[in-house]
Amino acid sequence: MDKFIVHVDMDAFFASVEQRDNPEYRAKPVIVGADPKAGNGRGVVSTCSYEARKFGVHSAMPISIAYRKCPQAIYLPVDSAKYARVSDQVINILNSFSPLVEQVSIDEAFLDISDTYKIWGSAYQSCVRIKNQIKEKTGLTASVGLAPTKMAAKIASGLRKPDGLVEVKKDGLLEFLRPLDVGLLWGVGEKTKEILNQMGISTIGDLAKKSQQELISLLGKNGAWFWQMSQGIDESEVSVDHEVKSVSNEMTFEEDTRDKIKIEKELACLCELVSDRLREDKFKCRTITLKIRLEGFHTYTRAITLPEPTNFSEDLIRAIRRLFENFELKDKKVRLIGVRASNLSSADEEFLFKYKDEKKEEVHKAVDKIRKKFGRDYISRGCSVEPPDVISRD
C-alpha cells in the first residue's frame, strides 16, 4: 500500500499568534524571545515574523544581533502557556484527520493519512482541508508537505513558506530530491555539510552518485544513513506517543554570575514554574535534574531521584538546592540554569505511601486557585522573588 505522510509546520508560530491577538502588530516586524535591552540583551530569538526576516533576523539568532539588524521591531517575551494552548488546538485538528499523529515540537507534527485520506477524496485534498481547518479554527496559517516518506514531507513543507502546500508523488520522489541542497537531509549539520561541499557534493543528487561504501569511509557509520536518504529510502514511521516525558524550565542571566543567593532564588522560581505545570497537567515526578551552563558555554546536569512522587514546589526546591550545593563552580560564573522534572506518573494514582502532611496539598490547591484567577505573578514564595537583572524564562 502506498504511504501518504504529511508534515504540518506552523508559520512563524509564536510571532503569528501575537499578530493574530494584537491587530496593531500585523504587517510589522515582530520578534519573540529575550529582552534585547537596546542591543545589550542576552538570550536568543525564539521566533520572528516574516516582516522581521526581511531584515536578516531568524530563530536562534542572538537577540543583540537581531536588535542591531532590526531595532524598529516589536520585541515580545515568550508566552509559553498561550502558545501551548494554540498548539493543542492544532493537534486536535490533526487528530480528526488520522489517529497516527506525531507531534515533534510545539509548532510541527507528522501524520500518516494512508488509511484515511479517501474520506476527503484524495491525499492532496486532505492536506487542503487540514490547512483550511487550521486557518478557520486558529486564525493561523500552516505550511504542509505531502510525500511518501517522512523526510521528503518535512523538506516539502519548508519549500513554499508561508502558507505553502507541496506534494511529492512516489514516482517523482528522486526527481524531487536530486536538485535540493544536501544540507536539507536529516542529520546533515554545518560540519558534515562542509565536509561534503569540500568533496564537491552540494546537492542530494551529488550525494546519490556516491557509493554507500564511499560515504561510510568518508563519514563513518552515518554514511550509510545519508546514502539511504539520498536514494529516497526512509522507512521511519509516524510514531504515536502521547506520553509526556518531562517538564522543564530554564533561564539565562543578563550577566554571568557567581552570586549563589541570586542563583538559588532563580532556581526556586524555576521550581515553582515546573511545579505549576506538573499540577496543571496532573503529574507527579520522582526525578529532578539541575542544568547549569557556565561561562564559556560548558553545560552540566545533575539529577536526584526522590523516594516518593511529588509535584509540591517545596520538594522540588529542596532537591534542586541539594544538587546545587554539591555542584563545584570552581570560581566559574553561571550563564544559564534549568530545572527538569521527569520519571512522571499520574497525580490521580493512589500510591502506597501517602504524604504525611495533607495540609500541604490544601495549601497548594489554594495557591493554584489564586494563580488561575489572578495570574501566577500574583502570589509567589519569598525565596523566589525575581532579581531585577534576569531574562524572562522560556
Active-site annotation, residues: 108
User: Please, what sign has the CA dihedral across residues 199, 202, 207, 210?
Assistant: negative
As given in the structure block, the three cell numbers for residue 113 are 493519512
In this structure, are residues 215 and 195 in contact, taking their beta carbons and an 8 Å threshold? no
- Bridge pairing between strands 74-76 and 30-33: parallel
How far apart are the C-alpha atoms of 385 and 340, rounded to whole Å?
20
One-letter identity of residue 178: R
Nearest to 207 by CA among 187, 233, 178, 234: 178
Q: Decide if 48 contacts 58 (C-beta within 8 A).
A: yes
Instruction: Give the rounded distance of the alpha carbon of 44 from its chain centre.
Output: 14
Task: Output the CA torsion 39→41→42→46 (10° steps).
Answer: -80
Question: Using alpha carbons only, how large is the chain's radius of gyration in Å?
Answer: 24
| Residue 106: all three cell numbers together | 510545539
What single-letter DSSP state applies at residue 184?
A: G
Please report the sign of the dihedral spanned by the C-alpha atoms of residue 113, residue 118, residue 119, residue 120. Answer: positive
**Rounded CA separation 22/375 (Å):** 20
CA distance readout (Å), 155 to 56, 128, 142, 145, 273: 22, 18, 14, 7, 35
Judge whether 219 and 201 are in contact, CB under 8 Å. no
